[in-house]
Structure 1
Amino acid sequence: MTYTSGSERPGTAADPRYNTDLDKPQGLQSGRHIPNPDYPHLGFNPAPGSTDTVRELHKKLANCAKVLEESHGLVTKLMDGSYWKGDAAVAFREELDGGTLPLNLKNAAHSIRKAARQLDRWEGELDDFQRRAQRLEKDAKDAQAVLDAAKGRASKAENAPDLDKKGARHDEAQKTLTHANTAVEEAQAELDKIIGKAKSLAEEHEQKARYRAGKISDATTKLAPHEPGAWDKFTDWLGDNLPDILSACAAVLGVIALLGLTAIAPWALFLAAGLLSATALGLRLSDPEVRASLGDGFSKGELDLDFWSNALGVAGDFLGMVPALGVVLKGAFKAPQLMRAGGEALTLPQKIAAFGTSIKTEATAAEGALSMLAHPKVFGGRLAPLVEKIDGPATIAGAGTALYGVAGTVAESLDNDSAKAITSGLDGPRTLGVDLPAAIGTLHFLMFGARAAS
């Protein structure tokens, strides 16, 4: 029986009665005739999709979210009475008073922004899947060429006239045929192995696509007129602002250690703050919006408030992480000495304890390291009294601006361009003038020891 169109062929999406492999990845379903001109040797498309289409859709959704956010801001200004006055303004506010328009605009903008973020991530993932698929296609092409050559040699050996003869010439021809057939089997196994990798890639592509689709679907739960519950609001707020929250916690730990507000050893707070800063840094740099803001600032000169806020956030987290990372690395290098000093019969818990002791020792020593500006060899140490006076207030000020930034994510009245400009104006000089020299001083101490810092 022949079929003249895809709609008539059993196993197509149009004839689900015959489609028995719907649980397979898209590229492996018999009913999905996804074009695969770029994968003729694999025989299927392991990573279907168009990055251009995804990129365009992300751009449209991001622009839509921006318009909704601007509309929400405009309606908010109109409602508070400071932006528009007169009888028409009064009538407008009376019409909207008690309504859900501002909330719906805010929720819709948030949902679409979340969906756009997921599309942006999927674009990068899809691009990676397709690059891996193209490499496998190239490998399959090479393997197919080897297989074709091996089959040619096997066919020639199979038709060799000496096979019909007796004696040494027959044995030699038979040996050649055996080797040729073995080469065919090995070449076929190599091709099958590559195709198996492509199938695994198709499975991975399908799982990630379903995951991103689920995230996009979840984003629509905030679309107007649905209002999220308290738990959803909290988890969304936590997910959207986790880097700032972790940075603020690290800054607060610094203040606690400075003022001695807890019985916990300062060195432990020092390491905990470094760990929080490292986590915050990783989260910031993994955010496509942060990377885009920094990239536009450096490459296109778009030095707006978002750029400075992101740049200072990344710089602050990096400087907060570096000293603690140095302590851990130096402690790890010195730990084997403690283990050898304890003898060869150390148990695993004793080895772990020795490692912890080594890190504790280095952290305790580095805790009081001098800022590089206070070093005797820098301006003759004349800045040491100044550094001593501003170190405490600067630490408290940093914690204050960090907490204010987190508070701004909760209270809209605190989240405005003027507040961002003020906090950036405070954080910039503090980061460059206090945090950077302090981080350099700590690393210098860890590298060269107390003698070099004295």
Structure 2
Amino acid sequence: MAQNPYVHLGWNPVPGQPGEVEKLRTQLVNSASALQTAYQKIDKLLGESSFWEGDAAVGFREALDGDLPKYMKDAHKSLTLAAGHLGSWHGGLTGRRELAHKYDVEAGDHKGDLKTANARHDTAKQDPDLKLAGQTFQEGPELESAEARLNAANTRLSDAVTAVNNAQGALEDVLRKARELEGTHEAEARDLAKKLKDATNDLAPEEPGWLSKALSWIGDNLTNILSVLAAVAGLLALLCTGPFGIAFLLAASALSVATMASRLSDPKVMASLKDGFSKGEFDADFWENSVGLVGDLVGAVPGIGAVSRGVNGAVKSTRYASEAVSAGQFLGRFADDAVTAANRIATAGSYNPVGKWVAQAAGGNQALKVGMDYVSPVAGVLSSGYGLAAENIDALDGDGGKNSATGVDAARAGLFDGPAAGSVFRATVAALQ
């Protein structure tokens, strides 16, 4: 912590280092000058490149043209304004520091005067002549002498009190001036901060707004977001009945396909899979990505099966129709068959064969079967939600949590979703033959 240079005031009413302010101002001026030079050179190059043709010339102009020159020009203006404001602040800071030094010297003088006055007051209070008050003296010279000595002692005490009050008042007055100077300094500092902020308005590029940040976050977490949506849609498909259940079933499959596509388009995922198969690097990332792709695939099977059977039914109706079938009729038959197939797939008996087996092993306990129907969808929502949270919360981003989530997803695929997908696949193949 910097030592207080105003020891008599007791605090620093004008914090700040003029030398550092001037150094920063010089850096801003130099940066602004460099930006101006760079902008002028780019502008000159763009003008001269008009005589240069071909793909290389086009690429050169595209690289330099656009927002870059504008940003450089605006940033130069922004830095120049900021440097000017810092220059004004430097001058004001220097003047206020000189005034604070003057107040500090005065405070030192007044403290010295107060110390002297207090000592004088202490001496005056101890004057033995003050004890003459209340004593009895004979009329004549003895009484007159005692009265004169008592009056003189009282006068000295009164003068000492006046000197103490005057010194204390002078000290308080200079301290008040120092506090007012501190208030002025703080107000000037706030004004400088506002001016520096305003210097960047509509000049230097601003930070992305909330919409840009939100879209950027979605882009960075797209795979995990799609995985969560697919898992939630799968759970809603089980909870809802009728058209809503069918809609969520198809939505869950479509989202699984989208999740798979997003996962496969990620270079990191592909690199992890490639290293696993080519170099034997079967690390946590490899198993996480592999199990994720398997989960996406089995999650897509119900919807693919329903669509395949819908297409098959529409094609057969067209093939065996006695007259030409319109596009509307074809789509209508496709929709009917696809919805019918999706409705059948959504029934617990065919969609979760493991639950049926467990219920049969427990003596046909239907309550247990219903509970088993929810095991995989609920676990899918939890594991996908954890994956999204782990990507954004450092405390959750560890191999232990990832390995646990991967284990849960692998168990789901092996015990529940895999057999269910196999059942749907076999039924679809049979229907297509």
Could you say which TM-score interval applies, normalised by the shorter chain?
A: 0.3 to 0.5
User: Between Structure 1 and Structure 2, whose CA radius of gyration is higher?
Assistant: 2
Could you state the TM-score of these two structures normalised by the residue count of structure 1? 0.46
Could you state the TM-score of these two structures normalised by the residue count of structure 2? 0.48
